[in-house]
Amino acid sequence: MNELLKQLAPVPQKRPLLPSLSPQAELALLCRVLYREGYSDHIAGHISYLQDDGSILVNPWELAWDELTAGDILRLDESGKVIEGGWNVTPAINLHTEIHARRSDVKVIIHNHSRYGTVWANAGRVPPIYDQTSAQVSGELKLMDEYNVTVNESSEGARCAELLGKAKWALLVNHGVLVVAKDIAQAHLRAVTLEWRARTAWEVEALGGGKPMPSDVAQGLGDMIDGNGFPFLWEAMARREIRLDASVLDD
């Protein structure tokens, strides 16, 4: 295991993997990257990014994730009120404020109706782990039957936050997915791993089923990769988005 950790450790770079990015640019890039991964239910979905001063950056309600730029990102106070930006915030922002208030370890929260994650959520089932990429994140994938009322109800945001507890991620039955993380790179890894796992499990079951990875092996992989980060992955995916449309960085 120690040798594997050494192999995963970043090596010094002769040049930066990404240009210097503002927090707003990081968030816009995360939205673009995840849209390409299946987080693409029209204008649905929101990502919050807690800042050191206690304010919260979030994508606006009106724009799809594949069209966002850094200049579109809103800044909110801790109650969810817009204090900077020219768009509106999602009515479901209470889901984010409630989790941020309870989890000092969480700086990034992702909620969306990802294509395959939502299939499993709608089925009320947790997708098995069939391959290494699906095992990149360890820990329970919680199944939360939270859709008693719409999530924009203040009571429901609090209830979701309580049900999540200390978990990293969850499937919201009849709704979508929820991912929390300490920073942008970890949020990206967890979100793409969840959707990959959901899609791969769906494909394997469509073939008639398969043999899931042994739980101890999956746990070890997830502890190593999520625990130490996946070097260079976030940067590579962000560079791709910048190559495709550099306006994502416009402020």
Mean pLDDT over residues 175-182, rounded? 97
Compute the distance between CA of residue 230 and CA of residue 226 in angstroms, rounded to an integer: 7
Q: Is the pLDDT of residue 225 over 90?
A: yes
Mean pLDDT over residues 104-129, rounded? 98
Secondary structure E strands in the chain: 46-50, 56-58, 74-76, 82-84, 108-112, 141-144, 169-172, 176-181
Domain assignment present for residue 1? The answer is: no
Q: What pLDDT does residue 157 have?
A: 83
Cβ neighbors of 71 (< 8 A, separation 6 or more) are 24, 250, 251
pLDDT-based confidence at 14, cuts 50/70/90?
A: confident
Domain assignment present for residue 115? The answer is: yes
Number of domains in the chain: 1
pLDDT-based confidence at 193, cuts 50/70/90?
A: very high
Domain assignment present for residue 6? The answer is: no
Compute the distance between CA of residue 222 and CA of residue 189 in angstroms, rounded to an integer: 11
Domain assignment present for residue 7? The answer is: no
Mean pLDDT over residues 155-179, rounded? 92
Query: The CATH number of the domain where 99 resides is what?
Result: 3.40.225.10
Domain assignment present for residue 225? The answer is: yes
Q: Is the pLDDT of residue 236 over 70?
A: yes
pLDDT-based confidence at 126, cuts 50/70/90?
A: very high
Domain assignment present for residue 3? The answer is: no
Higher pLDDT among residues 193 and 11, named by residue:
193
Tokens 């199944």, residue? Answer: 143
Mean pLDDT over residues 92-115, rounded? 97
Domain assignment present for residue 249? The answer is: no
Percent of the residues in the chain that have a pLDDT greater than 90, as a whole number: 87
Range of the domain at 112: 20-243
pLDDT single digits (tens) 205-216: 999 999 999 999
